[in-house]
């Protein structure tokens, strides 16, 4: 057989080339890249990640000023007699006897409710005695002697302030204006922050005044 014929026969019987393999290889290459990237992201993520929330805080001066201006002065009242928990409790201006009774645990069953005015307004340093039924004893209400009583700077009205030695209309208005602008007086010495009141004038007033503060 001629050599040329043999070579032609081998070429004819050899494997034929199939479809191009380029797109398939590219697809698998991209898939491998995506899988690798996903695994890297999962591996780098710290376990148990949480969002942290930082609470906003006010400036100290602003916080103290706002709390001082919003707070109201308190004063002590002694409640005794036919109540569950007799003792001294603190109240604010405008509070009434029913609130004092509630703080003292309520009236006992034997309390003489007929002689008690639960709508009575409380005043500083008063003592309230709730009698039992059929009991005769001390008065229901004892109030501090007004002749010896000092004046509370945080509760006094303009008319009451004008009764203080050396305090007239202008000074009384200045005290109230300072109280409204800065909140209740915390100590007696704060009175010297009021315009027109210095050490000498304060020395003449300090024995006639006091302050109640929560």
Domains of the chain: 69-142 (no CATH), 151-210 (1.10.150.280)
Contact 111, 86 (CB under 8 A): no
- In the prediction, which pLDDT does 175 show? 94
Model confidence at 165, pLDDT cuts 50, 70, 90, reads confident
Rounded CA separation 78/160 (Å): 24
- In the prediction, which pLDDT does 194 show? 94
Output 114 or 81, whichever has higher pLDDT: 81
Using CB atoms within 10 A of its CB, is residue 53 exposed (0-12), middle (13-18) or buried (19+)? exposed
Tell me the pTM. Answer: 0.41
Output 210 or 49, whichever has higher pLDDT: 210
The region of weakest confidence among 54-63, 95-104, 159-168 is 54-63
Rounded CA separation 13/139 (Å): 132
- In the prediction, which pLDDT does 71 show? 54
Q: Is the predicted pLDDT of residue 192 greater than 50, yes or no?
A: yes
- What are the pLDDT digits (tens) for 124-151? 888 888 888 887 655 566 555 444 567 8
Identify which of 100, 104, 97, 103 has the alpha carbon closest to the alpha carbon of residue 119: 97
- What are the pLDDT digits (tens) for 101-113? 999 999 999 988 8
């Amino acid at each position: 057989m001629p050599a040329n014929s043999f070579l032609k026969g081998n070429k004819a019987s050899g494997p034929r080339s199939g479809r191009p393999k380029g797109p398939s290889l590219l697809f698998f290459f991209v898939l491998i890249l995506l899988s690798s990237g996903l695994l890297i992201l999962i591996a780098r993520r710290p376990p148990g990640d949480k969002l942290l929330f930082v609470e906003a805080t006010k400036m100290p001066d602003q916080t103290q000023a706002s709390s001082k201006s919003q707070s109201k002065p308190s004063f002590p009242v002694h409640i005794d007699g036919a109540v569950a928990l007799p003792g001294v409790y603190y109240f604010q201006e405008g509070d009434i006897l029913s609130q004092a009774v509630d703080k003292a645990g309520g009236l006992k069953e034997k309390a003489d409710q007929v002689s008690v005015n639960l709508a009575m307004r409380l005043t500083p340093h008063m003592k309230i005695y709730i009698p039992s039924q059929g009991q005769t004893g001390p008065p229901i209400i004892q109030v501090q002697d007004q002749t010896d009583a000092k004046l509370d700077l945080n509760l006094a009205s303009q008319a009451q302030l004008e009764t203080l030695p050396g305090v007239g209309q202008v000074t009384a208005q200045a005290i109230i204006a300072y109280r409204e602008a800065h909140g209740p007086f915390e100590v007696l010495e704060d009175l010297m922050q009021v315009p027109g009141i210095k050490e000498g004038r304060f020395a003449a007033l300090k024995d006639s005044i006091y302050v109640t503060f929560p």
